[in-house]
Amino acid sequence: MAEIPTAAISRLVTYLRILEQLEAQDVSRTSSSDLAERAGVSAFQVRKDLAYFGRFGTRGMGYTVAILKRELVRVLGLNQTWNVVIVGMGRLGQAIANYPGASDYQFQYAGLFDVSPAIVGQQIRNLTVRHMDDLKTFVAQNKVDMGFLAVPPDRAQDAAQALVSAGVRGILNFAPVVIQPPTEGGAQEISDEWRAVIIENVDFLAGMKRLAFYILNPHLKDAPLTEDTE
């Protein structure tokens, strides 16, 4: 399989959301032009993104909404259960835990963790908040695929290390800080336990800054994408 740009994966998620909306409206067929208009990209970009993963449409007839949706669900790995732990059960962590849409895509909250005596022991979504000291044992005894970080910036690196050391290989970081994989040796190579770890950052403040820029420069947001951007 050819190298797939990160931006293309992000667009697949957008296409899937559009297909779900079309299906809810009882629309049975769509086209690259229609998807492109709804996603704010070019039809060429839609076809290119989908072509990374196979052939899903019929020339001149477009795509069957239900079939393309099913295939994108498969490509994105949303046809299997993903067990998630949340580290940091303050207001943000609780909001994430109570978000109703996660289970629609097979994301299942398996454990909740914090260090605050005021929070540890609380019941949230029928789960008891555990102390971080229990994380490694919990992961060893339960299949955990992902960890969500909802901790203060100065705690994020240590919390990420605790997840990785416990064996978690996917981290969704909500803290407004860049997680730095530790390096070792003279060549400053990433340590073995971090080599297979995938980190995604969700930075609300960065999004607000981009929004401010585009409000001031709306003409820069108007042009449809014609090629992959990172």
**Residues within the annotated binding site for NAD(+)?**
88-93
DSSP letter (8 states) at residue 133: G
Element (H, E) at 66: helix 65-75
**On the CB side of 18, how many CA atoms lie within 13 Å of its CA?**
23
Place of tokens 């959301």: 17
Tokens of 129: 């908040």
CA distances from 108 to 36, 86, 100, 131 (A): 32, 11, 11, 20
Please give the annotated binding residues, written as ranges: 88-93
127 CB contacts (<8 Å, ≥6 apart)?
97, 109, 110, 111, 112
Among positive and negative, which fits the CA dihedral 101, 103, 106, 109? Answer: positive
Using an 8 Å Cβ cutoff, are 83 and 142 in contact? yes
